[in-house]
Amino acid sequence: MSLDTYTTPLASRYASTEMKTIFSARTRGETWRQLWVWLAEAEKELGIEIPEEGISQMKANLKMTDETLWWPQRRRRSYGATSCYVTDNSDLIFIRDALDLLIPKLATIIFKLSQFAIEYKDMPALGYTHYQPAQLITVGRRAAQWIQDLLMSLEDISRSRSDLRFRGAQGTTGTQASFMEIFHNDGDKIDKLNEILCAKAGFPSCYSISTQTYTRLVDLRVANALSEFGAVVQRITSDIRHLAAQKELEEPFEKDQIGSSAMAYKRNPMRCERIAGLGRHLANLNKNASDTYSAQWFERTLAIRRITIPEQFLSADAICMTLNNVVSGLVVYPARIHSRVMEELPFMATENIIMKLVSLGKSRQDAHEEIRVLSHQASDVVKKEGGKNGRTLLPSFTIQPNADFASTDLIERIKKTEFFKPVWGEVDAMLNPKNFIGRCPEQVTRFCGKGGEVEAALAPYRKHIDASKEIELTV
C-alpha cells in the first residue's frame, strides 16, 4: 500500500477480501471481457458470421495482467453493442454477487443473536421508554427486538436480490434497432440472443424496458434496502452502548485490548461505535442513488455510481463482519442487571400493592394517595441523598429473586405505615422480578425457537450460516 496516495479505510481496513475483489479493477476488466465473449458466442450461435479464431483469441485473453488492462479495440467490439452493454451488465453482476456474499453474513448474525435471545429469555431486565425505567422485559426479549429488525432488513435485501434482472443486449437507446439490422428484422432472434446472454450470466431474464442503461431505479431499490440495514445497526449498537454504560452488557473485549490510551480502566465499546459510524454512512448513501435516478434525463446521463455502489457494499460488509464479532461474544452481567431491576422494582410493584389492598376492601383512592406520598418521599432520598438513608449498598453476588439491591427505602416505608398492614406479609413476594416480565420468555421461544419465525426465515440460508465463534477482526 502506498503511503503517498489516499486509500479508503473501507478497503484498506474494514471490508472483506471477497467483497473488495468483487469491485476490483481486475474483476471489472475481466467481466467486461467475458461479456464480449458471451455476446460473440451468442451472435455466432444465431447465425452471425464471427470467426471462431476471433472468439478463441478473446477467450484466451479473459484473464487480465497488469500489462494488459484492456483489449485492443478490434477485440472489444461485437455487432450492435455499445459500451453500456458491458458497463451496465457488469454492474448488475457485481451487485448480484455482492448481495450473494452479504446475505449469508446477515443470516449468520441473526442466527447467533437468536441463540443469545433463547439463552437469556428468562433474565429480567429494566425496560425503558423515553430512556426512563419502565416495565420489565428480559435480556433475551430485548435481543428478540433487535432480531426482528434484522429479519426485516434481511427480507428487504433478499427481495432486492431476487428482483434483479439483466440488461442484456438492447442497443444504443434500448430500442434494439441495431440488432434488428443485424438479424434482418427477426425479433425472435433478438429475444433468443438475450435468453442466451441471461443463461450465460446467470440471470432469469432481462428488464423489459431499458434505455441506454438499465433503469437507475434498480440501484435505488438496492440502496434503500442497504441503507435501511445501516439504520437498523445504528439502533442496535446504540442500545448495546447504553447498556455498556450501565455495566449490564458489553461487546467482547480481547485479553490485551486497550480500552483507552489515557484511562486504563475504560472498556470503550469501539466495535459498536465502528458499526454505528459505518451504519450512519451506509444509511445516507441511498440519497446518492436517489439523486442519480432522478437526474437521468431522457435515455442516459452519467453519474457517480462507481463510487456509491462499491461503497455501500463495502460498508455493509464491514458492518456484518464487526457485528458478527459482537454477537459472537456478548458479555452479560447478571448481578448488575438484577441490581438495576431492584432499584426500580419497588416503584413498579406499587400498582400490585394497590390492587391487593383494593381486593381486601381498601379504597383505591386512599391507597393511591398513600403510595403517592411514600413514593415521593423515597424518590427524594434517592435523588438527593444517593440512596436510602444516604448509604451505599453492596449486594451479594448470590442473586435471590427479591434480593435487597434497592437504593430506595420505599418498601421499608410501606412496611412501617399502618395503612399497609394488611399486606405487610405479602410485599416481599410481590418483589420477585419474574412477576413483572409478562410473556417475554414465551415470546422469545415462539419467535426464536424451533419452528419459530426466525428458523423459517433463515431456512433458505441454513447451509451458508457459519456458527463459529472465532471471528477475525481488525480492531
Residue in the block written with cell 452471425: 48
Sequence-distant (≥ 6) Cβ neighbours of residue 247 within 8 angstroms: 333, 336
Residue in the block written with cell 450473494: 100
Can you give the pLDDT at residue 71? 53
114 is catalytic: no
For residue 401, what is its C-alpha cell? 429473586
Can you give the pLDDT at residue 302? 85
Q: Where are the beta strands (DSSP E) in 218-267?
A: 249-250
Residue 398 reports pLDDT greater than 90: no
The topology (CATH level 3) of 15-334 is Fumarase C; Chain A, domain 2 (1.20.200)
Of 149, 115, 347, give the one whose Cα is nearest residue 236.
149
Alpha-carbon distance values, 433 to 90, 307, 398, 403, 426 (Å): 57, 52, 15, 10, 14
Residue in the block written with cell 381486593: 359
Q: Rounded CA gap, 383 and 373, in Å?
A: 16
Alpha-carbon distance values, 79 to 56, 90, 162, 164, 386 (Å): 17, 18, 31, 26, 82
205 alpha carbon, distance to own chain's centre: 29
130 is catalytic: yes
Residue 304 reports pLDDT greater than 90: no
Are 414 and 422 contacting, i.e. CB atoms less than 8 angstroms apart? no
Q: Rounded CA gap, 42 and 28, in Å?
A: 21
Say which amino acid occupies 428.
Answer: D
Q: What is the pLDDT of residues 97-133, one digit of tens each?
A: 999 999 999 999 999 999 999 999 999 999 999 999 9
Are 138 and 124 contacting, i.e. CB atoms less than 8 angstroms apart? yes
What average pLDDT is seen over the chain? Answer: 89
Q: What is the pLDDT of residues 71-87, one digit of tens each?
A: 544 454 557 888 999 99
Q: Rounded CA gap, 453 and 30, in Å?
A: 41
Q: DSSP label at 166? A: B
Mean pLDDT value of segment 385-407: 47
Q: Rounded CA gap, 164 and 92, in Å?
A: 8
Sequence-distant (≥ 6) Cβ neighbours of residue 343 within 8 angstroms: 133, 405, 406, 407, 408
Mean pLDDT value of segment 184-203: 98
Active-site residue, selected from the candidate residues 2, 130, 162, 208:
130
CATH class of 350-430: mainly alpha
Residue 259 reports pLDDT greater than 60: no
For the ranges 160-164, 351-355, 405-409, the maximum mean pLDDT occurs at 160-164
Are 334 and 120 contacting, i.e. CB atoms less than 8 angstroms apart? no
Where are the domains positioned within the chain? 15-334, 350-430
Residue 127's φ and ψ, nearest 5 degrees, are -90, 160
Q: Exposed (0-12), middle (13-18) or buried (19+): which is 448, by Cβ within 10 Å? A: buried
Q: What is the pLDDT of residues 435-446, one digit of tens each?
A: 999 999 999 999
pLDDT: which is higher, 55 or 253: 55
Helices 217-245 and 305-327, interaxial angle, to 10°? 30
For residue 40, what is its C-alpha cell? 460473440
Alpha-carbon distance values, 347 to 246, 353, 406 (Å): 20, 10, 10
Can you give the pLDDT at residue 408? 74
Q: Rounded CA gap, 394 and 442, in Å?
A: 33
pLDDT: which is higher, 208 or 380: 208
**DSSP-assigned states of every residue in 310-324:** HHHHHHHHHHHHHHH
Can you give the pLDDT at residue 135? 92
**DSSP-assigned states of every residue in 74-140:** HHH--TT--HHHHHHHHHHHHHHHHHHHHHHHHHHHHHHHHHHHHHTTT-EEEEEETTEEEEEEEHH
Q: Rounded CA gap, 281 and 272, in Å?
A: 14
Q: Rounded CA gap, 475 and 473, in Å?
A: 6
Active-site residue, selected from the candidate residues 56, 83, 205, 260:
260
Sequence-distant (≥ 6) Cβ neighbours of residue 7 within 8 angstroms: 1
For residue 469, what is its C-alpha cell? 465463534
3-state secondary structure of 62: coil
